[in-house]
Amino acid sequence: MDFLLADFHTDLAATVDGIVDRAGGIDLARDWADKSDHAPALAAYRKLAEAGITGLLVPDELGGSGAGAVETVVAVERLGRACLPGPVAETFAVAPGILGAGPALDGLLAGTPTTCAMPPLHPRAANPDIAVPLLITDDGVHAATTGELLDTVDPTRKVAEITGGDTVEGTTDRAGDLGALATAAQLLGLGSAMLDLSAEYAKTRTQFHRAIGSFQAVKHHLADVAIALEMARPLVHGAAVGLDGQAPDGTDVSRDVSAARVAAGDAAYLASRRGLQVLGAIGYTAEHDFSLYLTKTRALLTAWGTPAHHRAAILETL
């Protein structure tokens, strides 16, 4: 069981960064939130698909990259760090991990975002207005129709209940674990970005003729966040190793996924709280990039299982 990332994982992360940066970076979320302009972000999805990122969990024989969950969490963490709008966990992890051959998979591999609901764990689909909706039930994977769109705290994320229709080829075995793990990876990326924004601000904002980052209280705030993120990351990677079938016999992979989801959520939430303390009121303003990370973090904290759900799941295994 190897927790260390190889050079090709680093290359994969750099590839994702390069694609999203060239597509506009944080402006993708800004355009989505302020102008309801989805086109730049959807173009980024297509570019990521061309690079094989949407197909990391799709077998070679179905046109994918034949990689695994470890590679997926590496990529999704970078997408979280970039605050990419749209159904990230669903498009880059859940749908690729469950869909079999068919038009839905073909569209996904071509860069069409896909969104999923899986009641009661994940009752509403995110961004069904710009994505192909799928309903996951005990009976299988279904094409779906979308109900009324509802606003959330995240201006780049609308949700809706969806109604299942015809069955599409696929398997639901790992859907919940993939959704929770990808959300954990996305939260790690969001938390890391908020830490960077907070640290950069602390280096430049002065009080009493000194950068506020020189004060011990501020240093401790940011160090707490850094430790929380670094403690959560190996849990995310370890759970991914388990989903790839490389964990020791007897490992409860779903329990590991829940542990990763709790730790990553707690770390990202801490990053948002401490970041607001460092930045002060400007962190709340819609004009500051921090608010985009803040609101997405708040919205994702209950995606693919609430913290209480995952803590209860861990408790039941002890």
Q: How confident is the model at residue 1 (pLDDT cuts 50, 70, 90)?
A: low
Rounded distance, CA 76 to CA 307, Å?
20
Q: Residue 126: phi, psi to the nearest 5?
A: -90, 135
Q: Give the pLDDT of residue 247.
A: 87
Average pLDDT of the residues in 176-205: 97
Average pLDDT of the residues in 244-272: 95
Please report whether residue 280 resides in a domain: yes
For the cut 80, the answer to whether the pLDDT of residue 273 exceeds it is yes
Q: What is the residue range of 282's domain? A: 175-316
Q: How confident is the model at residue 284 (pLDDT cuts 50, 70, 90)?
A: confident
Average pLDDT of the residues in 225-249: 95
Please report whether residue 197 resides in a domain: yes
Please report whether residue 274 resides in a domain: yes
Q: pTM for the complete prediction?
A: 0.96
For the cut 90, the answer to whether the pLDDT of residue 4 exceeds it is no
Task: For residue 130, give both structure tokens.
Answer: 């710009």
Q: Give the pLDDT of residue 204.
A: 94
**How many domains does the chain divide into?**
1
* Sequence-distant (≥ 6) Cβ neighbours of residue 146 within 8 angstroms: 125, 128, 129, 133, 160, 162
Using one digit for the tens of pLDDT, what is the confidence trace for 68-104?
999 999 999 999 999 999 999 999 999 999 999 999 9
Average pLDDT of the residues in 246-263: 94
The letter for the amino acid at 166 is: D
Share of the chain above pLDDT 70, in %: 99
Question: What CATH number corresponds to the domain at position 239?
Answer: 1.20.140.10
Please report whether residue 30 resides in a domain: no
160 three-state secondary structure: strand
Please report whether residue 46 resides in a domain: no
Q: How confident is the model at residue 106 (pLDDT cuts 50, 70, 90)?
A: very high
Please report whether residue 114 resides in a domain: no
Q: Give the pLDDT of residue 5.
A: 83
Please report whether residue 237 resides in a domain: yes
Using one digit for the tens of pLDDT, what is the confidence trace for 196-235?
999 999 999 998 999 999 999 999 999 999 999 999 999 9
Please report whether residue 235 resides in a domain: yes
DSSP character string of 106-153: HHHHTT--EEEEBTTTB-SEESTTSSEEEEEETTEEEEEEE---EE-S
Using one digit for the tens of pLDDT, what is the confidence trace for 108-161?
999 999 999 999 999 999 999 999 999 999 999 999 999 999 999 999 999 999
With 0-12 CB in 10 A as exposed, 13-18 as middle and 19+ as buried, what is 125?
A: buried
Share of the chain above pLDDT 90, in %: 93
For the cut 80, the answer to whether the pLDDT of residue 9 exceeds it is yes
For the cut 70, the answer to whether the pLDDT of residue 2 exceeds it is no
